[in-house]
């Protein structure tokens, strides 16, 4: 092999900005989503291969500080120039190349994901294999937003249980918690069930949260502040329900600290929140060594982000079902071909190279509201 074959050439980077509308609104303790703006990153190696990534930041900084606009700014003005300036021998190099830029994990992850896909396609292997994944199929659950009434919630749960989802996650908030979970348990005594508070409580609510212990929940996700691990450790000592951290974990370092403090027993790994697949794998490996269970979270992704989640979940310590539901749970028309299908609560890990799904170009164009292209030359011109 020549030297150039050992680096991943970055010929052109395209930011496709898309706007898609969820089939039904999704409500959490911090707000409701329906229209979704995001970027599909396409990296062309100039040798006939393209890799794809998806940015998962929302339009408002409710879940984390990043937004669609900050993702655009940070990718266009800082991260894309860094990619053109450095040789990439392996996708793991990207984390290091991006390290002069603080945080902005979702912006980093969108580009890093495209490099991983491109790498796997060039190698002619599935992304799951490139990451070290061994599963042929993955178990998936579903996250159900806050509903107008408990009756509505029971109906929605029944539908998804019938579809075969392996566990049900309910969004909770003060006023939509203990009584709701009680009624769900009365109707569905045996389903694997968990709750996600998205930081809606404080440590003062400890006695209230203890009441969840009687419902045999798999876990409570991110009950306390988005940036806390200290109070979560106090809470975990007092409640039996395992605490799972989502918002508080932005890196493997964060995961190590949380585990050392006893802030959680389970970690939700979201590729975007931790800055990419390389960091996700690092957290997965660390948790495996320390007996901490992990699962793959979701950010209401379109097909590209969904495909990345599936590839990551093929790693063996993703023992708990994640939030990666089928495309049709979110979208009338997804941007990949075929769309992601769930059967009996399982998704088959694709065997084709890269993310293993084809990009539906006509739908990409249909949902596109803006497009920007970057080459090494255009970056140089801009910086003069």
CA proximity to 112, closest of 80, 64, 70 = 80
Q: How far is CA 139 from the centre of its chain?
A: 16
- Residue from 320, 319, 310, 313 nearest 350 by CA: 310
Q: Which residue among the candidates 169, 171, 173, 346 is catalytic per the annotation?
A: 171
- Residue bearing tokens 């074959």: 5
Q: Which of 29, 198, 241, 263 binds ligand OSB (CB under 6 A)?
A: 198
Least Cβ distance, residue 236 to ligand OSB (angstroms):
18
| Paired sense of beta strands 368-375 and 12-28, if any | antiparallel
Residues 6+ positions from 40 with CB-CB distance below 8 Å: 15, 16, 18, 52, 53, 54, 302, 304, 335, 359, 364
Binding map of ligand OSB across residues 60-79, x = CB under 6 A, - = no contact: ---x----------------
The correct pick among 80, 106, 194, 325 for binding ligand OSB (CB under 6 A) is: 325
Site string for ligand OSB, 277-316 (x = CB under 6 A): --------------------xxxx----------------
- Interacting positions 8-37 with ligand OSB (CB under 6 A): 28
- Chain positions contacting Mg ion, by CB under 5 A: 196, 221, 246
The residues near 126 (Cβ < 8 Å, ≥ 6 apart) are 120, 311, 349, 350, 351, 352, 353, 354, 356
- The single residue of 36, 169, 270, 282 carrying the catalytic annotation is 270
Are residues 328 and 303 in contact, defined by beta-carbon separation less than 8 angstroms? Answer: no
Strand, coil or helix: what is 344?
Answer: coil
Cβ-Cβ contacts under 8 Å for 23 (sequence gap 6 or more): 329, 330, 331, 332
Closest C-alpha among 300, 284, 382, 350 to residue 57: 300
**Smaller CB separation from ligand OSB, 43 or 296:** 296
Task: Indicate the residue among 145 and 353 with the shorter CB distance to ligand OSB.
Answer: 145
Query: What is the nearest approach in angstroms of Mg ion to the Cβ of residue 156?
Result: 18
Size of the site for ligand OSB (CB under 6 A): 12
CB-wise, 54 or 246, nearer to Mg ion? 246
Q: Residue 281: in which H helix or E strand, if any? A: helix 277-289
CB of 4 to ligand OSB, least distance (A): 39
Backbone angles phi, psi at 322, to 5 degrees: -95, -165
**Closest residue to Mg ion using C-beta atoms:** 246
Residue 171 annotated as catalytic: yes
Nearer to ligand OSB by Cβ, of 36 and 121: the residue is 36
Q: Does 246 bind ligand OSB (CB under 6 A)?
A: yes
| 266 contributes a contact to ligand OSB by CB under 6 A | no
Active site residues: 171, 270
Residues lying near ligand OSB in the complex (CB under 6 A) are found at 28, 63, 143, 196, 198, 246, 297-300, 323, 325
């Amino acid at each position: 092999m020549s030297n150039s074959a050992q680096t991943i050439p970055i010929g052109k980077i395209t930011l496709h900005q898309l706007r898609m509308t969820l089939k039904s609104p999704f409500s959490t303790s911090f707000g409701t989503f329906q229209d979704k703006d995001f970027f599909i990153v396409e990296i062309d190696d100039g040798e006939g291969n393209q890799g794809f990534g998806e940015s998962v930041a929302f339009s408002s900084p409710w879940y984390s500080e990043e937004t669609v606009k900050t993702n655009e700014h940070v990718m266009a003005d800082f991260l894309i120039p860094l990619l053109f300036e450095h040789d990439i021998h392996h996708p793991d190099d990207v984390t290091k190349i991006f390290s002069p830029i603080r945080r902005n994990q979702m912006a980093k992850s969108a580009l890093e994901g495209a490099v991983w896909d491109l790498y796997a396609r060039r190698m002619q292997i599935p992304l799951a294999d490139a990451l070290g994944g061994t599963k042929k199929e993955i178990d998936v659950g579903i996250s159900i937003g806050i509903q107008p009434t408990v009756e509505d919630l029971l109906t929605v749960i029944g539908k998804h249980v019938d579809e075969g989802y392996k566990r049900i996650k309910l969004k909770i908030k003060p006023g939509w918690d203990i009584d709701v979970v009680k009624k769900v348990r009365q109707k569905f005594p045996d389903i694997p069930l968990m709750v996600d508070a998205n930081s809606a409580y404080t440590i003062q609510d400890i006695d209230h949260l203890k009441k969840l212990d009687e419902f045999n929940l798999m876990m409570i996700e991110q009950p306390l502040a988005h940036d806390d691990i200290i109070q979560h450790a106090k809470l975990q000592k007092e409640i039996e329900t395992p605490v799972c951290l989502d918002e508080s974990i932005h890196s493997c370092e964060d995961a190590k600290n949380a585990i050392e403090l006893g802030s959680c027993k389970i970690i939700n790994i979201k590729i975007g929140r931790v800055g990419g697949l390389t960091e996700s794998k690092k957290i997965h490996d660390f948790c495996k060594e320390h007996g901490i269970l992990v699962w793959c979270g979701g950010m209401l992704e379109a097909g590209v982000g969904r495909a990345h989640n599936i590839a990551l979940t093929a790693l063996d310590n993703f023992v708990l079902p994640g939030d990666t539901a089928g495309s049709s749970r979110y979208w009338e028309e997804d941007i990949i071909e075929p769309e992601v299908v769930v059967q009996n609560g399982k998704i088959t890990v694709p065997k084709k190279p890269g993310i293993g799904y084809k990009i539906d170009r006509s739908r990409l164009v249909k949902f596109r509201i803006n497009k920007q292209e970057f080459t090494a030359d255009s970056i140089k011109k801009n910086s003069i």
